[in-house]
């Protein structure tokens, strides 16, 4: 499809606005004594159901869940404006989040003809949206502006719904997986890597991150890394991307605790892993890209779950654990990837 990169950019904007909406809303409850539980439940309901939603959209592709999702997140903002109960606000918000995520994944995967950059670009929009949403709330930006942004997002999804006529049902161009390995093994190992990387991300040492500007840089480098991961896969191959995004990131992250520049390079490289695991899962689940994407979001939640209850305070122990997990993930990725270089 000639417009596959345009679709990627459109859903980058949609994802950006989605996360602005969600984290603007979350920021409104940061002073709530129950905020840790609120954040945990948000992740649970927004991430875990995406596998089920993906299964539904794989089978019933004519349902535009993106439109439904954005309508729900817009309703959540209206509920926030009028101070409705939190359960109502987050009910609309989390379900809308899950639906919109799956639509973006389906759209970019089904129109990209085996290229990973459009999907990686779509996913990268979230990192930029997270920090923007937080800052907009902290600077008392009126919720009406976020509602208007959602309306624009809704119009974009409706306007570009014609891309569905060019979607590939079989995804025959995705061949990033090791064909000699069984379906269950590939899925379990890929999901394990996503969960481990999610868990590891909470242990990245960033003592330098003390100002608003530094936080902006951190999230911008995260988002850029995700997009670059997809681009590197397309321009080189998946094995090079795996090694660069795992082993090369390791020294920058470990020794970047008090050095912002080293750390940001490491964060960007670390974030490039995302499209690698998605590419492998989609290659093995060609007829079910929605499920493939949903498996990654479930794994993200599983990996982040321990962080709600404990953190490793020792920098040395954290570095050792991070190193072991990184090497393990690299070995697994090399094993489950296509043997063709």
pLDDT digit string (tens) for the chain, length 341 residues = 457 789 999 999 999 999 999 999 999 999 988 999 999 999 999 999 999 999 999 999 889 999 999 999 999 999 999 999 999 999 999 999 999 999 999 999 999 999 999 999 999 999 999 999 999 999 999 999 999 999 999 999 998 888 887 888 889 999 999 999 999 999 999 999 999 999 888 888 888 999 999 999 999 999 999 999 999 999 999 999 999 888 899 999 988 888 999 999 999 999 999 999 999 999 999 999 999 999 999 999 999 988 888 777 777 888 888 899 999 999 999 999 986 54
Shared domain check, 206 and 83: no
Shared domain check, 152 and 51: yes
Give Cβ neighbours of residue 173 (< 8 Å, ≥ 6 apart): 113, 114, 115
Shared domain check, 213 and 132: no
For residue 4, what are its two tokens? 């596959």
Shared domain check, 127 and 14: yes
For the domain that residue 153 is a member of, what is the CATH number?
Answer: 1.20.1250
Of the residues 119, 136, 166, which one is the last residue of a structural domain? Answer: 166
Kindly tell me the sign of the dihedral angle through the C-alpha atoms of 237, 117, 50, 326. positive
Establish if 315 belongs to a structural domain: yes
Shared domain check, 161 and 17: yes
Shared domain check, 196 and 149: no
Of the residues 140, 166, 192, which one is the last residue of a structural domain? Answer: 166
pTM for the predicted model, two decimal places? 0.94
Domain count, the chain: 2
Burial (CB < 10 A; 0-12, 13-18, 19+), residue 59, is exposed
Shared domain check, 200 and 105: no
Shared domain check, 240 and 92: no
Residue 154's Cβ-side half-sphere holds a number of Cα atoms within 13 Å equal to 17
Of the residues 166, 201, 234, which one is the last residue of a structural domain? Answer: 166
Residue 48's Cβ-side half-sphere holds a number of Cα atoms within 13 Å equal to 11
Shared domain check, 24 and 150: yes
Shared domain check, 212 and 110: no
Q: Which domain holds residue 187?
A: 183-285+310-336
């Amino acid at each position: 499809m000639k417009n596959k990169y345009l679709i990627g950019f459109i859903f980058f904007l949609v994802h950006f606005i989605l996360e602005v909406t969600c984290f603007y809303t979350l920021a409104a409850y940061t002073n709530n004594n129950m905020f840790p539980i609120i954040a945990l439940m948000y992740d649970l309901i927004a991430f875990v159901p995406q596998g089920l939603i993906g299964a539904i959209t794989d089978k019933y592709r004519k349902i535009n869940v993106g439109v439904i999702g954005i309508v729900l997140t817009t309703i959540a903002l209206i509920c926030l404006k009028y101070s409705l109960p939190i359960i109502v606000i987050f009910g609309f918000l989390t379900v809308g989040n899950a639906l919109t995520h799956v639509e973006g994944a389906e759209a970019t995967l089904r129109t990209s003809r085996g290229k990973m950059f459009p999907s990686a670009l779509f996913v990268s929009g979230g990192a930029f949206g997270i920090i923007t949403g937080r800052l907009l709330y902290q600077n008392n930006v009126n919720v009406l502006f976020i509602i208007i942004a959602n309306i624009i997002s809704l119009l974009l999804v409706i306007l570009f719904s014609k891309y569905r006529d060019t979607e590939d049902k079989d995804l025959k161009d995705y061949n990033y997986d090791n064909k000699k390995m069984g379906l269950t093994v590939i899925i379990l190992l890929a999901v394990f890597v996503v969960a481990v990387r999610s868990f590891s991300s909470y242990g990245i040492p960033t003592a330098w991150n003390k100002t608003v500007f530094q936080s902006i840089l951190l999230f911008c480098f995260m988002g850029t890394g995700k997009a670059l991961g997809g681009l590197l896969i397309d321009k080189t191959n998946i094995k090079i991307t795996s090694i660069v995004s795992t082993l090369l990131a390791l020294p920058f992250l470990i020794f970047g605790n008090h050095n912002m520049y080293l750390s940001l390079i490491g964060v960007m490289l670390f974030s490039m892993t995302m499209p690698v695991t998605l590419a492998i899962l989609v290659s093995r689940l060609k007829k079910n890209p929605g499920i493939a994407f949903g498996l990654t979001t479930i794994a993200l939640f599983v990996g982040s779950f321990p962080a709600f209850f404990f953190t490793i305070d020792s920098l040395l122990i954290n570095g050792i654990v991070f190193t072991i997990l990184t090497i393990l993930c690299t070995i697994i990725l090399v094993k489950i990837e296509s043997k063709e270089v």
